[in-house]
Amino acid sequence: MDEPFIDVEYFWGALQAVLPYVKVTLGLTLASVVLGAILGLVCCLVEVRKVPVLSQLAKLYVLVCRSLPNMVLLYLVYYGVPILLMALSREGNLPLHVEKVTALQIAVVGLTLHTGAYLTEIFRAAVQSIPAGQLEAAESIGMTWLQAYRRVILPQAAVFSLPLFANQFLSTMKSTSIVFVITVIELFGAAKLYCEDNSQYFEAYIAVACIYWVMGVVFEFLFDRLELRLGRYKRRNVA
């Protein structure tokens, strides 16, 4: 009797083995996207406001981190951060304990830098899509530029940027699969370790693919609902 194309029993075993690592993948994704969004928003405002020196540094950061492959950037951070911390500790006598920096923290830094660079451009395009007259009108009634951005510009820009933000969120979630190269065990790493003894990689990777697919569908649904909710700005019926 011919062996089945897919070992269903092994597939279910692999699925159960990797499921606990969903929290690692989601944790990496959420941490990297939240920190990347903060970094991206700061760089966006610095560029839009043309802050001397800082705007040039922001553009350089975006240019470098968007040009490098994610894995190359991750390796640079993995080997570069300890060297930087040791240099700072040696030169400034700072109590920095390099040995306490975990691979998980390095992974978050690497993914944040990559995500933040793309979100900077997404936010900048969204902010610049808002007519300049709205900022001028807000400032003419006594708002500071910061108040005008917080109350007028950014709420509208959020609507325009959300679809691209959702795409970047999903891209970051999928990019977490590369952190296994720096010894962080997430979904892909767990599957690889599970099938090392018998090399039944196909079933294990199908299990991982199914989990990523389910998470992608769930987050796409959530972002669609959020886009509808934020769309009230487009319908001009803001409360």
Domain ranges of the chain: 8-233
On the 0-12 / 13-18 / 19+ scale of CB atoms within 10 A, 99 is exposed
pTM score, whole prediction? 0.88
Cβ distance 141 to 159 under 8 Å? no
| Domain 8-233 sits in CATH 2.70.98.30 | no
The one-letter amino acid code at 132 reads A
The whole-angstrom separation of Cα 225 and Cα 98 is 43
The whole-angstrom separation of Cα 195 and Cα 205 is 10
Tens-digit pLDDT profile for the chain (239 aa)? 456 667 788 889 889 999 999 999 999 999 999 999 999 999 999 998 888 999 999 999 999 999 999 999 999 999 888 887 777 777 655 666 667 778 899 999 999 999 999 999 999 999 988 888 888 888 788 888 888 888 888 888 888 899 999 999 999 999 999 999 888 889 998 998 888 877 788 888 999 999 999 999 999 999 998 888 876 656 554 44
Which one-letter DSSP state was computed for residue 153?
Answer: I
The whole-angstrom separation of Cα 44 and Cα 218 is 29
